[in-house]
Amino acid sequence: MTDERLGRRTYLGYALGSVGTAGFATVPGLLLAYYLTNSLGVAAALAAVVVLVPKLWDVAFLPIVGTLSDRSAQRLRSRRPFLLAGGLALPVVFVLMFATPTSLGEWAAAAWVLVFFLLAASAFALFQVPYIAMPAEITEDAEERTTMMSWRVAFLALGILLFGVGAPALRDAGNGGAGGYLIMSVGVAALIALGMLGCWWALRRTRPVPCDTSGHGGHSLREQFAVAWRTRSFRILLGAFVIQALATGAMLAAAQYFATYVLGQEGLSDVLFAALIVPALIVMPGWAWVGHRWGKRTGYTAASLAFLAGALALLTARALPNGGILAIVGLCGIGYAGMQMFPLAMLPDAIAADALASGRQRAGAFTGVWTAGETIGFAVGPALVLLMLALTGFVSSTGEPAAQPELAETGVLLAFTVLPAALVALSLPLIRSYRLEPVAVAASSEGVP
């Protein structure tokens, strides 16, 4: 396969979906915990449960979506109906998630957010699982998959920048509080719908690469999970990616607290976010070049080390001017770009290796398990931050930020720096041990990374 077969139109159409997924991947992780503790007055420990439970439900739901989307690919030669369902449902329940009635007490408000967050996570799964599965089916060429992922992650980074900066700005423009969060949710939901439905429409002419799927429909969900888990390259890659999702999820969730209680500037969170994402946009082509030149595993390791170094350097934030802090956050952003691109470029190679070995297209099963792991990471990361805040005596509020004890401020600093760095360090041995199975060498024009 060549670039001429897919062309920029396919790359662009596929990447457009990441603008939609960026909204749900970013805004709840960035603002939901803060919304619960600093707008609804929910205690940090209870807020940790609210942000965690819906994502744990998805651990069971995502593989089911993967299996169903595989059947759709087999029978209809298309996963697009799932893209449409997710693109229509998610914007509606996303708005409801941030539309908590002000008359509700702490526990009732927590329950409201919990229910609609669960529904939103489920709608997101309907889109995300088949979306991730499609590159392994659209092209057989590993270089094309790397190019698709570089486009996707560039658009993802652009979307994250847009939502990470724009969502807090919309909230603040609405004077914060319930009205501000409602205005923010409507704006975010509109862009989510534009990205997801635009991707659904743009990919209407794509068809899966022909593959023998005979007998595939008879596999149970447990068998599909077992198939994915038995693939060593997938298992190792998933472990590294999940651990790093914990790290980035924790840093995102702690960013607003860091701006408010460590830097003393509540409105600085959008600037911090821009400092993280703008460098990621700039260096993305460079990481793609590194992957082509030295291999994806080498690039993945280098990106992880850059993020780790930046996170630890932020321990000195209280002694630095804002410019120095933003520069260090920019280093984290450089690492973050590679930490997103490389595993997503390596995943289709592992899926293609299984398809070549088995003669069956089971991309949905793999991506269902993958997205379940990613979901765990991005759920547990914010929960860890909230639990750290609860243990250090964080004080919740329903209006202006409450004064915090010194120990709670230290907890915020550690949640934004040491916690992400330690998690990324845990992922490094897994990245080092990553290898594609020998069969993948025949499926990949670049060989084993």
Q: What confidence score (pLDDT) does residue 68 get?
A: 78
Please state, in angstroms and as integers, the Cα–Cα distance from residue 147 to each residue in 345, 360, 361, 383, 447, following that order: 8, 24, 21, 34, 16
pLDDT tens, per residue, the chain with 449 residues:
334 466 677 778 888 888 888 889 889 888 999 999 988 999 999 999 999 898 788 777 877 777 777 776 666 666 778 889 999 999 999 999 999 998 888 999 999 999 999 999 899 988 887 887 777 666 666 666 667 777 787 788 788 888 988 898 898 887 777 888 999 999 999 999 999 998 888 777 665 554 444 434 434 446 656 767 777 778 888 889 999 999 988 998 898 899 989 988 877 888 888 888 888 778 878 888 888 888 888 899 999 999 999 999 999 998 899 899 999 999 999 999 889 888 888 887 777 777 776 666 666 667 767 777 777 787 788 899 999 999 999 988 887 777 888 899 999 999 999 999 999 999 999 998 887 644 444 444 443 33
Predicted structure pTM score = 0.76
Q: What confidence score (pLDDT) does residue 107 get?
A: 94
Domain ranges of the chain: 9-204+221-443
HSE-CB of 376 using CA atoms within 13 angstroms: 16
Q: Is the dihedral of CA 36, 41, 43, 46 positive or negative?
A: negative
CATH number, span 9-204+221-443: 1.20.1250.20
Please state, in angstroms and as integers, the Cα–Cα distance from residue 65 to each residue in 72, 129, 201, 364, 442, following that order: 10, 7, 20, 8, 30
> How many helices (H) and strands (E) in the chain?
16, 0
